[in-house]
Amino acid sequence: MNRLLGFMWAVIAIALLFWASGCGPLLYSQSAPPPGRTAALDENDGHYDLDISQGVAIAIACEHDGPCKDVVVTTENEAIADVKGASFSKLEKSAYTMYASTPAGIVIVGKSPGKTRVKVKTNDGTKTVNVHVLAPPLAGEPSKIAR
């Protein structure tokens, strides 16, 4: 009986470790694109996909038990997407604490058509954003809207 009880505790401990280590930061959009342009951020199997029009910037908030700390953001190809760390000046109530705080985040700018990856590293983990920059519509053509 003691052996079975010890085994059950070991399984529970391992499950908790996997659950806690796989979370990482939560990213969500803080801005909308201009009319006729795209900026759509979607979570997909532990990473994020961003479809964004050339020339458009999107503000993305980062949370993990409150605002992310020590945010470092990098891009694989600066010619396609430019990235900057950000702190938004809007106080938001946190689901994790009773205090309002300023969200931490990043800004991604679509510079030229193509695909690249953006890495968001925090002290809570790392998330990858697969960025697809769409070409602007030609004069008289309808806009390409993602999804």
CATH classification of the domain holding 108: 2.60.40.10
Domain membership of residue 36 (yes or no) is: yes
pTM above 0.85, yes or no: no
Residue 102, pLDDT score: 74
Residue 72, pLDDT score: 92
* Pairwise CA distance, residues 96 & 127, whole Å: 20
Domain membership of residue 119 (yes or no) is: yes
The DSSP H or E segment spanning 19 is helix 2-21
Residue 52, pLDDT score: 97
* Pairwise CA distance, residues 125 & 105, whole Å: 14
67 CB neighbour count, 10 Å cutoff: 21
* Pairwise CA distance, residues 14 & 83, whole Å: 36
- In this structure, what token pair is assigned to residue 2? 């003691």
Residue 105, pLDDT score: 86
Domain membership of residue 49 (yes or no) is: yes
Domain membership of residue 1 (yes or no) is: no
Contact call for residues 67 and 125 (beta carbons, < 8 A):
no
* Domain ranges, residue 84: 24-134
* Tens digit of pLDDT at every position of the chain (147 positions): 666 666 666 666 555 545 544 578 899 999 999 988 999 999 998 899 999 999 999 999 998 877 888 899 999 999 999 999 887 777 766 666 667 777 788 999 999 999 999 999 998 899 999 999 999 877 766 666 655
Residue 36, pLDDT score: 86
Domain membership of residue 17 (yes or no) is: no
Domain membership of residue 142 (yes or no) is: no
* Pairwise CA distance, residues 101 & 37, whole Å: 30
Count of structural domains within the chain: 1
- In this structure, what token pair is assigned to residue 49? 């996909």
